[in-house]
């Protein structure tokens, strides 16, 4: 294949509606995988694409997939298989974004752990594109609720990851239940034997594409990450802003609502902050950027699209409040500082469930991030004292102080105070808005499982007894949820729903006791009110959890009607039960998303 150069998206023959959405996102030049994959896919050819995450694979298959659709026809014309629910959601969102100007386009993501009802209703109304995990796709195919008679394009995204997670049989089963006339696009970072077998059995004379990513480094930016629990992220961010030196900062979040909410919170805490996102009118965005440039604002809370191309020399700190799912987005984000040879600092807040995203960013950027250490109270105090002394030195050098000296002598003559006490009082007045001696903050870091994602082993003699759950380091309490065995719930359903919706690490989900009409789950005793209220509305097996603190038996004894489960591992709830050995069951791991 001869590589074409200097082509833009305008040169790829994309429909105007799709091209408009792409250019609106700020992209003009296709990445190598997009340049190689889009033309043959639009021509109806099968493709085999080998490229690392972060090279633009999502757009490489999404844009031609959309170009070949007939949105006005309410049938499933494209199916995308993804290894995890997170990836399925992200791909579906990307396809919707690229196709937002295609009149009538409907995209649906389906995965385990979510109620069947909304998925069934959406399929009955008719959708054009389905993105889902293999287990739930199989469930719908077996029930007859997902019909693929009109399928035109099948995409296997992150195919090697699906193999690693144990989906080999499921993928082959699905590929045996789709029309032979469909176009197939298989994308994978590696090519193990199973992938080659799929290619030989199910792809017809595919266009073979192999992309070697370029090394991406940002030499002038000091990069680090802080592993914090989901519930402590806001507190960690506040302490970070109070203790890290910066002139101006830009903080990245995933959604527009999150940008507004975080900016409001910072303003309430006394920070000069504003949001920056696509819902703002252009003049509002320009006003915020100008305020950051001239010093009226110190912090911008931004989404990726709104901040693309932003160049403000004052920005010396970039905070990734929400870890980007696309490594390319990470490179763009931290590129807001350290520009034109200036030094900058980039700090990434990572929750335990996002360790895989961190590892992908490190792999794609070919750079290992340091562990961030919050400056101690002594370090901050010494720095502030030095800044105060420097400020006093500048006043002594630049300004005629004779008038103020006269006032000092007058004050001392009238009141007879000690000059040292007077100087101390004046310094105290000068620093009334900033404490020179900050207090130490509690440890907000989440337990570090090491670079391989596994927690460090305890020393011999400290290992917990076999079969016992490793206890969390927070007080636990028993909570009641109004879904039980009669609704078909399993422990894995509850673990998956609570972990995903509350952002809880699995170690903070304790024993689970299933009863006929309800279940009991051990969770941290201090679940925040907003998360608690959100969990009340979450549905498992089609039933709202309606969670509440357990107050003991009501209306009778529970003995003999419940079964207790230890949360030693999370069951996957998005795949049917099989005879596969327990060790082959896939683990739920978030995967990054690329443009």
DSSP 487-539: GT--HHHHHHHHHHHH---GGG---EEE-SS-EEEEEETT--HHHHHHHHH-E
Look at residues 151, 176, 210 and tell me which one is the last residue of a structural domain: 210
Q: Is residue 325 part of a domain?
A: yes
Q: How many domains does the chain have?
A: 3
Specify the DSSP element, H or E, that contains 209.
strand 207-210
Q: What's 50's DSSP letter?
A: E
What CA dihedral angle connects 577, 583, 589 and 592, to 10 degrees? -110
What gap in Å lies between CA 120 and CA 434, rounded to an integer?
A: 57
Look at residues 338, 371, 404 and tell me which one is the last residue of a structural domain: 371
pLDDT the model gives residue 560: 39
Tell me the pLDDT tens digit for each residue of 523-537: 888 777 777 888 888
Chain centroid offset of residue 371 CA: 19
pLDDT along the chain (595 residues), means of 10: 65 93 85 92 93 78 95 95 84 93 94 86 95 93 94 93 83 93 90 84 92 62 90 86 89 90 90 88 85 93 75 90 82 78 87 86 84 73 68 75 81 79 76 60 60 41 36 74 87 80 72 89 82 82 87 51 47 39 40 36
Same domain membership, residue 141 and residue 47:
yes
DSSP 164-203: HTT-HHHHHHHHTTS-TT-EEEEEESS--HHHHHHHHHH-
**Burial per residue of 435-469, b for 16 or more beta-carbon CB atoms within 10 angstroms, e otherwise:** eeebeeeeebbbeeeeeeeeeeeeeeeeeeeeeee
pLDDT the model gives residue 146: 95
What gap in Å lies between CA 254 and CA 320, rounded to an integer?
A: 10
Same domain membership, residue 135 and residue 19:
yes
Residue listed under structure tokens 């370029």: 214
What gap in Å lies between CA 508 and CA 358, rounded to an integer?
A: 22
Q: Is residue 443 part of a domain?
A: no
Chain centroid offset of residue 265 CA: 20
CB of 344 within 8 A of CB of 220? yes
CB of 99 within 8 A of CB of 173? no
Residue listed under structure tokens 């595919």: 206
CATH number at residue 504: 3.30.70.330
Q: Is residue 455 part of a domain?
A: no
Same domain membership, residue 171 and residue 22:
yes
Q: What's 228's DSSP letter?
A: B
CB of 497 within 8 A of CB of 509? no
The number of helix segments (H) and strand segments (E) in the chain equals: 20, 21
Question: Looking at 228-326, which runs of residues are DSSP E strands?
Answer: 248-252, 273-276, 299-302, 315-320
Look at residues 371, 398, 432 and tell me which one is the last residue of a structural domain: 371
Phi/psi zone of residue 82: left (φ > 0), alpha (ψ -120 to 50 degrees), beta? beta
Which residues fall within 8 angstroms of residue 382, CB to CB, at 6 or more apart? none
Q: Is residue 388 part of a domain?
A: no
Q: Is residue 389 part of a domain?
A: no
pLDDT the model gives residue 374: 79
CB of 61 within 8 A of CB of 185? yes
Same domain membership, residue 191 and residue 236:
no
pTM above 0.85, yes or no: no
Q: Is residue 87 part of a domain?
A: yes
Same domain membership, residue 279 and residue 203:
no
Q: Is 80 helix (H, G, I), strand (E, B) or coil?
A: strand
CA atoms within 13 A on the CB side of 388: 19
Q: Is residue 380 part of a domain?
A: no
What CA dihedral angle connects 545, 549, 551 and 556, to 10 degrees? 10
Same domain membership, residue 242 and residue 183:
no
The domain in which residue 545 lies consists of 476-584
For residue 565, the cross-strand partners are 512
Q: Which token pair is 458?
A: 């305890």
What gap in Å lies between CA 227 and CA 99, rounded to an integer?
A: 36
Q: Is 560 helix (H, G, I), strand (E, B) or coil?
A: coil
Same domain membership, residue 190 and residue 230:
no
What gap in Å lies between CA 412 and CA 420, rounded to an integer?
A: 11
What gap in Å lies between CA 155 and CA 390, rounded to an integer?
A: 62
Same domain membership, residue 81 and residue 182:
yes
Q: Which token pair is 139?
A: 């469930």
CATH number at residue 257: 3.40.50.300
Q: Which token pair is 239?
A: 């302490």
Same domain membership, residue 281 and residue 146:
no
pLDDT the model gives residue 506: 66
**Burial per residue of 34-71, b for 16 or more beta-carbon CB atoms within 10 angstroms, e otherwise:** bbbbbbbbbeebbbbbbbbbbbbbbbbbbbbbbbbbeb
Beta-carbon count within 10 A of 371 CB: 10
Same domain membership, residue 226 and residue 278:
yes
pLDDT the model gives residue 141: 95
Indicate the angle between helix axes 193-202 and 168-175, nearest 10 degrees. 10
What gap in Å lies between CA 279 and CA 371, rounded to an integer?
A: 35
Q: Which token pair is 553?
A: 């038996």
Same domain membership, residue 254 and residue 181:
no
Q: Is residue 19 part of a domain?
A: yes
CB of 369 within 8 A of CB of 225? yes
CB of 331 within 8 A of CB of 303? no
Beta-carbon count within 10 A of 303 CB: 20
Same domain membership, residue 232 and residue 173:
no
Which residues fall within 8 angstroms of residue 468, CB to CB, at 6 or more apart? 566
């Amino acid at each position: 294949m001869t590589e074409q150069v200097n082509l833009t998206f305008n040169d790829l023959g994309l429909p105007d509606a799709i091209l408009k959405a792409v250019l609106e996102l700020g992209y003009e030049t296709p990445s190598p995988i997009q340049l190689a994959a889009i033309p043959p896919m639009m021509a109806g050819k099968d493709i085999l694409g080998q490229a690392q995450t972060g090279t633009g694979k999502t757009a490489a298959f999404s844009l031609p997939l959309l170009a070949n659709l007939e949105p006005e026809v309410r049938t499933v014309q494209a199916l995308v298989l993804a290894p995890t629910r997170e990836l399925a959601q992200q791909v579906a969102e990307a396809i919707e974004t690229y196709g937002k100007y295609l009149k009538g386009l409907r995209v649906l993501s389906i995965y385990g752990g979510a109620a069947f009802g909304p998925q069934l209703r959406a399929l009955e109304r008719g959708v054009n594109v389905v993105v889902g995990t293999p287990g739930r796709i199989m469930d719908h195919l077996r029930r007859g609720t997902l019909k693929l008679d009109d399928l035109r394009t099948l995409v296997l995204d992150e195919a090697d990851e699906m193999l690693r997670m144990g989906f080999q049989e499921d993928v082959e089963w699905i590929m045996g239940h789709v029309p032979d006339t469909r176009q197939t696009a298989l994308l994978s970072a590696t090519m193990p034997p199973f992938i080659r077998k799929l290619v030989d059995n199910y792809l017809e004379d595919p266009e073979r594409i192999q992309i070697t990513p370029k090394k991406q480094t940002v030499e002038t930016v000091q990069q680090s990450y802080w592993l914090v629990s989901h519930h402590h992220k806001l507190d960690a961010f506040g302490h970070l802003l109070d203790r890290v030196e910066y002139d101006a900062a830009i903080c990245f979040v995933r959604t527009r609502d999150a940008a507004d909410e975080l900016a409001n919170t910072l303003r309430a805490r006394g920070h000069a902050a504003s949001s920056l996102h696509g819902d703002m009118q252009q003049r509002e965005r320009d006003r915020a950027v100008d305020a950051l440039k001239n010093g009226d604002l110190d912090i911008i809370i931004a989404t990726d699209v709104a901040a693309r191309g932003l160049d403000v020399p004052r920005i010396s700190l970039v905070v990734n409040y929400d870890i980007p799912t696309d490594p390319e987005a990470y490179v763009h984000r931290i590129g807001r500082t350290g520009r034109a040879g200036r030094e900058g600092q980039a700090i990434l807040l990572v929750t335990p469930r996002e360790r895989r995203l961190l590892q992908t960013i490190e792999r794609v950027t070919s750079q290992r991030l340091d562990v961030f250490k919050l400056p101690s109270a002594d370090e901050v105090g010494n720095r502030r004292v030095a800044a105060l002394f420097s400020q006093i030195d500048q006043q002594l050098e630049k300004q005629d102080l004779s008038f103020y000296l006269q006032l000092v002598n007058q004050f001392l003559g009238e009141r007879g105070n000690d000059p040292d006490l007077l100087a101390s009082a004046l310094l105290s007045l000068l620093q009334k808005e900033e404490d020179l001696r900050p207090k130490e903050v509690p440890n907000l870091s989440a337990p570090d499982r090491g670079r391989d994602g596994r927690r460090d082993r305890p020393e011999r003699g400290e290992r917990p007894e076999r079969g016992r759950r490793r206890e969390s380091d927070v007080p636990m309490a028993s909570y009641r949820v109004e879904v039980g065995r009669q609704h078909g719930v399993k422990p894995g359903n509850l673990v998956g729903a609570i972990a995903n919706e509350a952002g809880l690490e699995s170690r903070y989900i304790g024993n689970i006791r299933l009863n006929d009409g309800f279940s009991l789950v051990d969770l941290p005793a201090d679940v925040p009110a907003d998360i608690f209220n959100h969990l009340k509305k979450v549905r498992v097996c089609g039933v709202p959890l309606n969670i509440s603190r357990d107050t003991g038996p009501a209306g009778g004894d529970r003995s003999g009607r419940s079964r207790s489960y230890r949360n030693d591992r999370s069951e996957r709830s998005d795949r049917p039960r099989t005879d596969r050995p327990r060790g082959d069951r896939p683990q739920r791991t978030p995967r990054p998303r690329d443009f």
